[in-house]
Amino acid sequence: MNFADWIKRRGIYRRLRLIRLPRVRGIKAPVVIVFLTLVVIAIFLLSGGIYNYVEFNAGELQFTTNYGGQWVFYYPYNVSEQFLGESSLSIMFYAIGLVGCYIAFQSTRYAYRRRQAWILLSLGITMILIAYFGFERLLTLKMTGQ
């Protein structure tokens, strides 16, 4: 005899079913706003927003630096540190990739309009590839310094 059968035989099931828990009534936030807020928070965390907030004071925000006579927006030869410009680039690449995923997903709505579905799908995949290769190039620049 499993646990569910044991509860049903004891009559506990009927008593538990009759219990009405109070509902919390309040303001319900729209699902789209909650979702977009969570996406923005995730992009902020993944792009290194906490690191920038902790590492740089408000007076010394650095977007670029003069490295060897050349202005760069990334921290060369060091993967564990970043400038604010590099963080803003990663925010941009994350946003492009997420918008590309959304556009590729929206292309499934136009299954009977093949041309429009194909255009949306290729635009979404192109944006995803731009984000991927942008991240790849940024990481290559950081590691090689060129």
List per-residue pLDDT tens for the chain, 146 residues long. 677 776 666 666 666 666 666 766 777 778 888 889 999 999 988 888 888 777 776 555 565 566 666 666 777 777 777 777 788 888 999 999 999 999 999 999 988 899 999 999 999 999 999 999 999 998 888 888 76
5 lies in a domain?
no
- At residue 67, the pLDDT reads 62
Total-model pTM: 0.70
Q: DSSP for 77-146?
A: T-SS---HHHHHHHHHHHHHHHHHHHHHHHGGGGTT-HHHHHHHHHHHHHHHHHHHHHHHHHHHHHHH--
Evaluate whether residue 6 is within a structural domain.
no
Residue 98 lies in a domain: yes
pLDDT value for 65: 62
**φ, ψ for residue 71, nearest 5 deg:** -80, 125
Domain tally, the chain: 1
| Nearest residue to 88 via CA among 54, 134, 129, 44 | 44
Domain presence at residue 130? yes
Q: Is residue 17, in this structure, part of any structural domain at all?
A: no
Rg (CA), the chain: 25
**Cα end-to-end distance, the chain, whole Å:** 69
CA distances from 39 to 33, 42, 95 (A): 10, 5, 9
- Name the residue range of residue 95's domain: 30-144
